[in-house]
Structure 1
């Protein structure tokens, strides 16, 4: 076990101890709002089938939204980043649309798209697209000009230029943008599910908050945090593999 792992384990134990101390033992916190650790474990077991269904629903939306964003953002970012004239032409559009919080599209998407699933995928797509797109362009711009010029001199085809020169060169920026996209996509997923879903992790929290069942709300929040932590850990493993050449 590494030192970092041990430190994280100790921190988790301290947090659990303080949680147990303030809720079950000293009762410093309102029991109707703050469940004990044992209550959370009990609810996790009791609602395990609901959580399983919610996870499947949430991951389905997250997968399609992020996959579509990657399929559009990365190729477009490579092409636009490579073409200076095109990059300068599209820069005002990026500066206007990129900073708009994607969450504002949720009510509009629900109104114009036929199903909640399509609405959620669209909003997740928008949220994941911009960080990935902007970082891909930045990655191409950061690539050493001599490498691109040398590839042109020896007659590298456009396809090879994009896949074998620009894509690997921009990969560190793409990975960085992907990390932001994934976190933002999960935030949007949860927000969308809290508005109009009938399943999902966001729906679980919203549904039980409407009934003032705060122990289940806290349990749902903990599950969401655990899912985000797991997703980011997996993503970092993949990123480390893709960027292993940097070591």
Structure 2
């Protein structure tokens, strides 16, 4: 083994690999840092239930503390087990994952204390515009069935429109990227109608579609179609000519060139189109549910806001945030699966 191979490699930090020649943290320093940060996070979260029980409520609107205490207690127990496992094996994947998340976990504990003190305990943020964690949990429990049905309606509507728009955008972009004649006729149309906000087309969609559901699907699909078509076209046109010539020299057919050369080479751009289309489609979903659809998360949020029931409105917003976050995680999982060859080459 050469001397270069025997030298320890620099450890990757939160901002990327350490510069050459920089000494990486030792196992002892990593364990010490994990101990200090983990103890701080546990202390902050443990202080929260103490404040709930020990400090009296002064807000006009309060709720039963027991559900919140159960939730926080379960989380503290899970965090303590995770922390103990990480201390026992500082080099394990569980320890590395915990060390990466500890600043956010500590911030979450501090935020819960601040939230509890400024609402239920000191009444600095007074009802009806602000509510304590207990009140939000009570609102969630009371509207669980309606929230579940609203989430299901939004999921069905969004996934239908997003899938339709992504498929149509892929087909349009592939056609424009591969055929110069198709690009001559379609690209000016893409440049003209593509940037139009999807929400502005809702009146037209309501006019031509047979139902409000179909009209909502159309504008959601339009939101996903434009970025997917644009990025697919750019990716296909950026395929190196040498790839095409080499495949043709070996006797590849036109279908093989498209399916086995152009599409795989353009896949990173297509996934960028999917990520961009996700945001525009979600914006179209919110508009459709606020204007033309009588159920869904945006409809629920607008409905309870009309009754000035702000705790239920906040609960709806939290469910919406979780829904959007789940969609983003699924796309990242898809990206990691399809572009496994880019591992350690491209950072997202």
Equivalent residue, structure 1, for 2:191: 95
Equivalent residue, structure 1, for 2:44: none
Provide the secondary structure at the position in 2 that maps to 1:61: helix
User: How far apart are 1:121 and its partner, in Å?
Assistant: 0.4
Equivalent residue, structure 2, for 1:108: 204
Change over 3 Å in CA distance of 1:215–1:166 after alignment to 2: same
Q: TM-score, normalised by structure 1?
A: 0.93
Equivalent residue, structure 1, for 2:346: none
Structure 2 residue 318 is matched with structure 1 residue 225: no
Question: Is the contact made by 1:193 and 1:200 (CA closer than 8 Å) also made in structure 2?
Answer: yes
User: How far apart are 1:20 and its partner, in Å?
Assistant: 2.4
User: How far apart are 1:197 and its partner, in Å?
Assistant: 2.1
User: How far apart are 1:200 and its partner, in Å?
Assistant: 0.7
**Higher helix content, 1 or 2:** 1
Structure 2 residue 339 is matched with structure 1 residue 243: yes
Q: What is the RMSD of the two structures over their aligned residues, measured on CA atoms?
A: 1.7
Structure 2 residue 283 is matched with structure 1 residue 183: no
d(CA) in 2 for partners of 1:21, 1:85: 66
Equivalent residue, structure 1, for 2:290: 194
Structure 2 residue 214 is matched with structure 1 residue 118: yes
Change over 3 Å in CA distance of 1:206–1:142 after alignment to 2: same
Change over 3 Å in CA distance of 1:75–1:96 after alignment to 2: same
Larger displacement relative to structure 2 (29-38 or 51-60): 29-38
Bigger relative contact order, structure 1 or 2, given CA contacts below 8 A and separation 6+?
1
Equivalent residue, structure 1, for 2:148: 52
Larger Rg: 2
Deviation by residue 1:190-213 (Cα, 9 ceiling, x = unmatched): 221111322110110011111111
Question: Is the contact made by 1:110 and 1:116 (CA closer than 8 Å) also made in structure 2?
Answer: yes
Provide the secondary structure at the position in 1 that maps to 2:247: helix
Deviation by residue 1:133-180 (Cα, 9 ceiling, x = unmatched): 111111112222211222233232222222111111111111111011
d(CA) in 1 for partners of 2:186, 2:259: 22
User: How far apart are 1:107 and its partner, in Å?
Assistant: 2.4
Q: How many residues align?
A: 247
Equivalent residue, structure 1, for 2:136: 40
Change over 3 Å in CA distance of 1:233–1:43 after alignment to 2: same
Equivalent residue, structure 2, for 1:84: 180
d(CA) in 1 for partners of 2:118, 2:241: 59
Q: TM-score, normalised by structure 2?
A: 0.67
Change over 3 Å in CA distance of 1:15–1:177 after alignment to 2: farther
Larger displacement relative to structure 2 (136-145 or 221-230): 136-145
Change over 3 Å in CA distance of 1:108–1:14 after alignment to 2: farther
Structure 2 residue 238 is matched with structure 1 residue 142: yes
User: How far apart are 1:189 and its partner, in Å?
Assistant: 1.0
Equivalent residue, structure 2, for 1:21: 117
Equivalent residue, structure 2, for 1:159: 255
Question: Is the contact made by 2:176 and 2:187 (CA closer than 8 Å) also made in structure 1?
Answer: no
User: How far apart are 1:120 and its partner, in Å?
Assistant: 0.6
Question: Is the contact made by 2:119 and 2:125 (CA closer than 8 Å) also made in structure 1?
Answer: yes
Change over 3 Å in CA distance of 1:28–1:175 after alignment to 2: same
Question: Is the contact made by 2:119 and 2:130 (CA closer than 8 Å) also made in structure 1?
Answer: yes
